[in-house]
Amino acid sequence: MTANRFAPGGESWLLAICLSRVGAYMVYISYAAALPALQREWQMSNTAAGAIASAFQVAYALSLMGCSEIADRVGARRVFLVGTVASALGAAAFALFARDYWSGLALYTLLALVLGGTYTTGILLVAENVPPERRGRAMGFFLGGHSAGLALALVLAGVAIPLGGYRLAFVLIGLGPVVGGALAWIALRTTPNVVTERAHDQRFTGAVLTNRPALLVIAGYTFHSWELLGMWTWTPAFLAACFVATGSEVTRAAGLGPYLTSAFHVTGTFASLVAGVLADRWGRTPVIFAMASLSAACSLVFGWLIGGPIWVVVAVGLLYGFTALGDSPIYSTAITEVVAPAYRGAALALRSLAGYGAGAAAPLVFGAILDALGGSAAGGSAWGSAFGSLGLAGLVAVLAVVALHRDPAARELTRGRQIDTPTSGEIHR
């Protein structure tokens, strides 16, 4: 492979970055993929199980915030590459040494602190190197890599858990960031490190905090994250409970849950690609509205399906996976288009803090609702109410995008034409 093959913004370059994301983000779902088995072996209540997922999201939010701000000052490329190495090391530590509740809590939190270096910095790399007319599609491919990584991890977990327990699953999944990191280093060798100097009269307050379109994008993303991250954490356990409710043996159900969830993430990958293309053609806000509305409806229905035919659960779950993730790349594209380049990282930092902060609360609240209503074996009332809490957040996200659509300052986002912010002040380092 020659250096020219990976010209910044080209198809090979984008493919390598997306595959890097696939590998890196396999570990994002490793805990949720093994959750039914971990609850038994680590003797965790639903609340305790949710607490580990929530601690991960808090640490991840802090990591995203810090890495995004650093990227504005030293360049996204540098932070992205360092993040890939750190993620590989963190994944290895979690796979080899997480053996009970407390070690799992500590090491999964540590993994979150380094994994954030490969997310918003990747968004910045796409925004810097791909022109506006292809940016929605490119962002869809990049964020689709997230879902592809989650799907692959869930398949591996579904195969590994019956054979060697959660330990084997963690080891196999932990190889993803190693491969992803190698691809990132190959692709980014000739990519310039861009730092946009901030004008003396330009401040974070004006660029982001008083920027109404930016705040509405952040608000929509925040409640979208509550719904999405809660769903990601608890769907494998819910599906396992569905199989148990229809007569499956518990260990077999623990393997089937993550395996089937992988299919939902495959639809999410496809959704990211489709939504990105549609957003370039029809506008950002109309596509977000459609996806967010359908996702909220699925959240309000999904948990009540336990005990019913598995094919109905699967059908709704596939739609759920498609719509819950379909608007993610559009939020990421939109925030880079309504904020000046020098403050894109800062805006992504605020978005990430709000979004993943909300996402941190979601698994804990979900688990607490389950425990309060009788636990995972309580049936539709417990699971329906828990998933319903995600649906309420989804409805708030719908309201935010309606306000964004009506805002005159964001009109370009509604028409399929991107706001091409000025790029003066760029320095390649």
Core vs surface per residue 281-296: b (16+ CB within 10 A) or e: eebbbbbbbbbbbbbb
What are the tokens at 99?
Answer: 């053996």
pLDDT category at 108 given cuts 50, 70, 90 is very high
**Which residue, among 49, 48, 68, has the nearest Cα to 60 in the 3D structure?**
68
pLDDT of residue 62: 86
Q: What gap in Å lies between CA 47 and CA 33, rounded to an integer? A: 17
Question: Mean pLDDT throughout 160-188?
Answer: 89
Q: How far is CA 299 from the centre of its chain?
A: 17
pLDDT of residue 350: 83
pLDDT of residue 415: 53
Which of the two residues, 240 and 298, has the higher pLDDT score?
298
Q: Are 132 and 418 in contact (CB under 8 A)?
A: yes
Residue 356 has pLDDT above 60, yes or no: yes
Residue 397 has pLDDT above 90, yes or no: yes
Listed in sequence order, the residues at least 6 apart from 27 whose beta carbon sits closer than 8 Å to its beta carbon are 87, 90, 91, 94, 111, 115, 153, 173, 174, 176, 177
pLDDT of residue 411: 65
Average pLDDT of the chain is 83
Listed in sequence order, the residues at least 6 apart from 126 whose beta carbon sits closer than 8 Å to its beta carbon are 14, 17, 135, 138, 139, 142
pLDDT of residue 323: 93
Q: What gap in Å lies between CA 24 and CA 32, rounded to an integer? A: 16
Helices and strands per DSSP (H, E), number in the chain: 17, 2
pLDDT category at 428 given cuts 50, 70, 90 is very low
Q: What gap in Å lies between CA 43 and CA 192, rounded to an integer? A: 49
pTM for this prediction: 0.72
Listed in sequence order, the residues at least 6 apart from 313 whose beta carbon sits closer than 8 Å to its beta carbon are 239, 242, 302, 305, 306
Residue 136 has pLDDT above 80, yes or no: no
pLDDT category at 418 given cuts 50, 70, 90 is very low
Domains and CATH numbers, the chain: 3-194+203-422 (1.20.1250.20)
CA distances from 260 to 66, 256, 298, 410 (A): 35, 6, 17, 39
**Which residue, among 179, 147, 348, has the nearest Cα to 264 in the 3D structure?**
147
Q: Are 310 and 364 in contact (CB under 8 A)?
A: no
